[in-house]
């Protein structure tokens, strides 16, 4: 029986390793397009979850303010026993019989400050909504930046490996020439140094790529051991038509999240003036009280508590006008300051829009130039490499052309990132 169980276990283990749908290597690998990665980050990012909680908290505060303006009802009951005591009123005595009372009280208190506070709570909720939307946008943009950074770094590695293969080939040819006595050892040594330098650069770039993936895992809230597979390439995502449309888009400042928040903050400062003024305003309270009493005896007794009572009270604070005047003045100054900040921000955002347009246009122009530069540097390197194989060019020529090619490729990769960063910055400003 034990041997049969062991054989069954080995069979299931073999089946799980052979069957592609349950292979353990795939259990720690996830694939994402850019849109899928952004959606996954939005659904799992804890920062956005906190922003959502802030919205719920703001909504709860608003309902607290509303509830404070609604009737408040309370009930109470009591039992009293005077242990046979009788009240002596001269010619007559009144028994203090045991009794139980039941009381229901309903109160409503209204003031201008409560109404203004309700408006402030509504502004706070709107600000929480805007902050949540802004946080969601920031997370999506961070994922997009990291996604492109990973693709660009992988493209850098691909170019470096191509260059390394070419250099290794030239070094092998040179070393063979040295071995047969038709070339100098210094030529082979120079190429060997170039090969070693390129291998070191590749290792450094691989470490940089791992850092980018770690940052992406952090944004996606994935564990450290999870492998991320990017299903889209640079050519799929870098759409020049979309970039041109972005350059032609009009800037509506009211769509900008920072400007929205500042406008709500300015409105909040204006409401604070009214709230400060109503702190010494009148408060109207209305109450109704129902009382019921049950005596535990048939003896005659007194009950001086009416069964129903309705009342109203108007409370007007006095002798606080100087303090209130100073507080209102302070609130008005704060509102004026906020208006100045709003005006400065509007001007700053318009200037920023012009600068971001300039940055994106410059990045596009640089990308086109660097793309041509890489093609030219590649042709020069290939030409010199062929000449070197036939003994027409020197090893120094090969080294210089290889260095120029690497520099051109580095500039090309950098121009890719500049386009992406410039485009994302402009999209953030335009909220596109």
Per-residue pLDDT reduced to its tens digit, 336-395:
999 999 999 999 999 999 999 999 999 999 999 999 999 999 899 889 888 887 778 887
Residue 16 lies in a domain: no
Tell me, yes or no, whether 75 lies in a domain: no
CA end-to-end span of the chain:
67
Instruction: Give the pLDDT of residue 19.
Output: 36
Alpha helices in 74-111 (DSSP H): none
Q: How many domains does the chain have?
A: 1
Residue 78 maps to a domain: no
Could you tell me if 332 and 273 are in contact, meaning their C-beta atoms sit under 8 angstroms apart?
yes
**Domain CATH number, residue 230:** 1.20.1600.10
Question: Is the residue at 50 inside a domain?
Answer: yes
78 burial via Cβ count (<10 Å: 0-12, 13-18, 19+): exposed
For position 208, what pLDDT does the model report?
92
Closest CA to 305 of 315, 313, 295: 295
Show the tokens assigned to 370. Answer: 């660097």
Domain membership of residue 87 (yes or no) is no
Return the closest-CA partner of residue 233 out of 154, 141, 142: 154
Quickly state the pLDDT bin for 1 (edges 50, 70, 90).
very low
Supply the range of the domain harboring residue 359: 27-70+111-280+319-430
Domain assignment of residue 12, yes or no: no
Task: Establish if 184 belongs to a structural domain.
Answer: yes
Give me the percent of the chain exceeding a pLDDT of 90.
25
177: confidence class by pLDDT, cuts 50, 70, 90: confident
pLDDT tens-digit map of 96-144: 778 888 889 888 887 777 788 888 888 888 888 888 888 889 899 999 9
Determine the pLDDT at residue 25. Answer: 41
């Amino acid at each position: 029986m034990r041997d049969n169980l062991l054989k069954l276990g080995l069979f299931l283990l073999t089946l799980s390793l052979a069957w592609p749908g349950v292979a353990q290597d795939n259990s720690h690998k996830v694939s994402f397009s850019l849109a899928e990665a952004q959606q996954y980050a939005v659904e799992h990012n804890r920062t956005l979850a906190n922003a959502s909680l802030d919205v719920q908290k703001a909504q709860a505060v608003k309902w607290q303010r509303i509830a404070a303006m609604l009737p408040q009802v309370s009930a109470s009951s009591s039992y009293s026993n005077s242990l046979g005591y009788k009240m002596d009123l001269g010619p007559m005595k009144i028994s203090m019989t045991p009794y139980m009372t039941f009381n229901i009280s309903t109160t409503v208190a209204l003031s201008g400050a409560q109404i203004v506070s309700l408006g402030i709570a509504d502004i706070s909720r709107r600000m929480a909504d805007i902050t949540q939307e802004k946080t969601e946008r920031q997370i999506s943009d961070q994922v997009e930046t990291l996604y492109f950074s990973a693709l660009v770094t992988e493209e850098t590695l691909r170019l470096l490996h191509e260059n390394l293969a070419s250099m290794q080939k030239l070094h092998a040819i040179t070393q063979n020439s040295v071995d047969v006595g038709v070339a100098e050892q210094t030529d082979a040594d120079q190429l060997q140094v170039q090969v070693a330098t390129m291998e070191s650069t590749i290792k450094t770039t691989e470490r940089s790529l791992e850092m980018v993936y770690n940052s992406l895992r952090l944004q996606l809230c994935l564990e450290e051991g999870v492998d991320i597979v990017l299903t889209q390439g640079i050519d799929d995502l870098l759409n020049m038509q979309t970039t041109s449309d972005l350059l032609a888009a009009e800037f509506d400042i009211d769509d900008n999240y920072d400007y929205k928040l500042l406008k709500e903050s300015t409105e909040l400062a204006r409401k604070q003036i009214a709230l400060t003024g109503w702190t010494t305003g009148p408060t109207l309270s209305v109450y109704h009280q129902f009382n019921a009493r049950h005596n535990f005896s048939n003896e005659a007794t007194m009950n001086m508590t009416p069964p129903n009572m309705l009342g109203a009270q108007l409370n007007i604070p006095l002798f606080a006008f100087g303090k209130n005047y100073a507080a209102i003045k302070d609130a008005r100054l704060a509102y004026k300051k906020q208006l100045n900040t709003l005006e400065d921000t509007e001007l700053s955002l318009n200037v920023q829009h012009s600068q971001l347009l300039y940055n994106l246009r410059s990045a596009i122009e640089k990308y086109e130039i660097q793309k041509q530069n890489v093609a030219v540097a590649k042709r020069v390197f290939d030409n010199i490499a062929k000449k070197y194989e036939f003994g027409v060019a020197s090893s120094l020529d090969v080294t210089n052309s290889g260095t120029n090619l690497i520099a051109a490729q580095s500039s090309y990769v950098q121009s890719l990132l500049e386009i992406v960063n410039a485009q994302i910055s402009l999209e953030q400003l335009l909220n596109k």
